[in-house]
Amino acid sequence: MKNKFCLLTLVLGVLLISSPVVLAQGGVKAGPDPSTIRDPELEKDSLHNLEVARNYFKLKKAYVAALMRLEEIIAGNPNFSKIEEVYLMAGQSSIWLADGKGKQNRDQYLTFEGGSKHKLTPEQFRERGRDYLSKLVHEYPNGPFTKQAEEDLRLVGGPSAKTNP
């Protein structure tokens, strides 16, 4: 009987000592956040498109080509690790195309809606740019590109409502 009492006391002592350690680990309720899981191949492809878009944007002033590459990233990989820079360049490209800046004519940019091709008006380019910059400001308020986006938005009338461009 005395042995059983000693064994029971020992087991209870171990449980009491180990319970704070177990509780300190917290309870994992789910795996990682799905928005941070990134496909390495898709990330690599998006990074390549971003590099090409930077080249078009900064060196060649080819805003139509840059915008097309950037929109490909936005459509195909919305969780891209550098999506903030993508939104900034897409917004600036759109606004500058609306203003007739750059070496490419804005008529080279075509959208396909309802099975037919459409050219955008300067107002439509400006609104798209505003939407991209607004998305950046709303979703990444403390991001490294947010200040630049806010400055650009002041020139086009401020941020739009929270929408998806």
pLDDT at residue 159, as a whole number = 86
* Residue that is written with structure tokens 């590099």 in the block: 51
> Which three-class secondary structure state does DSSP give residue 111?
strand
123-139 pLDDT, tens per residue?
A: 999 999 999 999 999 99
Q: Which of 130, 136, 131 is nearest to 153 (CA)?
A: 130
Q: Which residues of the chain have pLDDT under 50?
A: none
Within 105-145, residue ranges assigned H as helices are 122-139
Beta strands in the chain (DSSP E): 110-113, 116-119
Q: What is the pTM of this model?
A: 0.76
* Residue that is written with structure tokens 């998006």 in the block: 46
pLDDT at residue 76, as a whole number = 96
Structure tokens that stand for 73 in this block: 């990233």
Rounded to whole angstroms, the Cα distance separating 119 from 129 reads 15
Q: Which CATH architecture has domain 55-165?
A: Alpha Horseshoe (1.25)
pLDDT at residue 114, as a whole number = 85
